[in-house]
Amino acid sequence: PLPGTITLVAEWKYAGPASSTTYTLSFNTQGHGGSVSSQSGLTAIESLPKLSESGWTFGGWYYDSSYNNRASVGDSLTSNTTLYAKWNVNTYTLNYITNVEGYELKSKTLGYGTTIVEPEVDEEKFVVTGHVFDGWYLNSDFSGDPITEISPNLNNQTSNNNVLMQYQQQDQ
């Protein structure tokens, strides 16, 4: 039981004029993350799809392809609207381990899908007598093929993004 009398007062907020006009919300994924179906019969944004794609980070939905005006759930629609997906390429820092005593190379930061360009080296110092350079690898047993581009494979094989230089013995 409640002690005494309690009075409750309803508060009403103006929601604007009632509209029977509805709109279609379309999605331009910018070539990543697959396709997304349009949403019809809307007066406001009810939900926004979350996208993913290997090597990329989804950065949200925008009203413009320049990504200046971000869309949010609850935004009112006043016309048929297309939203644009923003994507940010994932970057990876490669640490080159040369296996040449006293010779170090600077790390490089590269974007996903980037072809790996061999670092510039001082040919006179970048030498192991009796061996020839065989490529850059992700593991110390130098198994598999040398890496040539930043790919999902690279990210899955190493957590520290070290690339190791391999030499093979020269035939005498």
Q: Is 143 exposed, middle or buried (0-12, 13-18, 19+ CB in 10 A)?
A: exposed
Q: Average per-residue pLDDT in the chain? A: 80
CB 51 within 8 A of CB 34: yes
10 to 7, 13, 16, 74: CA distances (angstroms): 10, 10, 18, 23
pLDDT for the residue 122:
73
% of the chain at pLDDT higher than 90: 36
pLDDT for the residue 156:
47
Residue 166's pLDDT band, with cuts at 50, 70 and 90, is: low
pLDDT for the residue 169:
45
pLDDT for the residue 162:
55
pLDDT in tens, 12-42: 765 655 667 999 999 999 999 999 999 999 9
Q: What is the DSSP string of the chain?
A: --SS------------S-----EEEEEE-TTSS-----EEEESB--------BTTEEEEEEESSTT--SB--TT-B-SS-EEEEEEEEE-EEEEEEE--STT-----EEEETTPBPPPPP--TTTS--TTEEEEEEESSTT--SPPP-B--HHHHHH-SS-EEEEEEEEPP-
Q: Is the pLDDT of residue 159 over 60?
A: no
pLDDT for the residue 147:
75
